[in-house]
Amino acid sequence: MKIWRILLAVVGIGIGTYGISQLLTQVPRQTLVLVALWLIGALIIHDGLLSPAVVGVGAALRRYVPDRGRRYLQFGLIMAAMVTVIAVPMIYRARTQPPAKALLLQDFGINLTVLLAAIGGGTLIAYAIRVARDRSVPGRPPPNQAHE
C-alpha cells in the first residue's frame, strides 16, 4: 500500500501544482482575488452555516421524533434536500433568457413542489405501511419502545 500512497501523492501534488501555477500565471490578478474570495466564501458558507444547520436539524429530530417515524422523516428529508439544492438556483434563474435558447422555460417552483410532494407522499405511504405491519404482528412492540 505504501508505494501506492507515494505514487498517488506525487501525481496529486504534480497535478495540483500545475493547476495553481496555471491559475497564478494565466489569469488576471483581479480574477485571482475574486476566485480567492469565492474559495474562502465557499468554506465559510458550507462549514460555518450549512453544516451546523444540518447538524442542528439532525439533533432536533433525534430529540423530538420517535425512532420509528424518524427513520422515514430522515429518509424523506435527505432526498428533499438534494432535490432542493439543485432546484433553488433554477427557480431564481427561471425565465430570464430569450425563448430561442429553450433555457429555463419552466416554472421550477411548481416543479420543485411536485417533486417534494412526491417524496413526502412516498415517505408517508412507507411509514403508514410500517405502522400497519407493526399493528398486525401481535406482541411486537414498536421499535422506539424497544430501544428505551
Partner 1 sequence: MPTVPPSTRPAWWPHFNSTLRSTAVTARLGLVLGIAIGACFLTGLLSYFQYQAWEWLPPPASPVWGYRVTQGVHVATGMAAIPLVLVKLWSVYPNNFRWPPFRSVKRVVERITLALLVSATLVQLFTGFFNVLNWYPFRWDFVSVHYRLAYIVVGSLLLHVAVKLPDIVYGLQTKVAEGDVLTEIPWNENPESHSIAGPLPPPVTPGLSRRGVLTAAGAGIGVVVVTSVGQTLTPLEPIGLLAVREPSKGPQGVPVNRTAEEANVIGAASAPDWTLTIMGPKPYALSLAEIEEMAVHGARFPISCVEGWSANADWRGLRLLEIVERAGGTADSQIRVRSLEAAGFFNKTVIFGPQLSHALLATHLNGERLSVDHGYPLRLIAPNRAGAFNTKWLATIEFIS
Q: How many Å from the N-terminal Cα to the C-terminal Cα in the chain?
A: 44
Residues in contact with partner 1, counted by CB under 8 A, come to a total of 77
Shortest approach of partner 1 to residue 135 CB, angstroms?
20
Shortest approach of partner 1 to residue 106 CB, angstroms?
7
Euclidean distance between CA atoms 79 and 119, whole angstroms: 7
Of positions 29, 49, 53, 55, contacts partner 1 by CB under 8 A:
55
Of positions 29, 63, 98, 139, contacts partner 1 by CB under 8 A:
98
Q: Does 22 bind partner 1 (CB under 8 A)?
A: yes
Of positions 23, 49, 53, 126, contacts partner 1 by CB under 8 A:
23
Nearer to partner 1, 114 or 128 (CB): 114
> Please, which of residues 74-93 interact with partner 1 by CB under 8 A?
74-76, 78-83, 85-87, 89-90, 92-93
Shortest approach of partner 1 to residue 132 CB, angstroms?
20
Whose grid coordinates read 507515494? 6
Mark 32-51 with x for binding to partner 1 (rule: CB under 8 A) and - for no binding: --xx--xxx-xx--xx--xx
- Determine contact, residues 62/70, Cβ cutoff 8 Å: yes
DSSP structure string for 17-71: HHHHHHHHHHS-HHHHHHHHHHHHHHHIIIIIIIHHHHHHHHHHHHHHS-HHHHH
Nearest to 134 by CA among 62, 74, 66: 66
> Please, which of residues 102-131 interact with partner 1 by CB under 8 A?
102-106, 108, 111-112, 114-115, 119
**Quick one: cell of 11?**
501525481
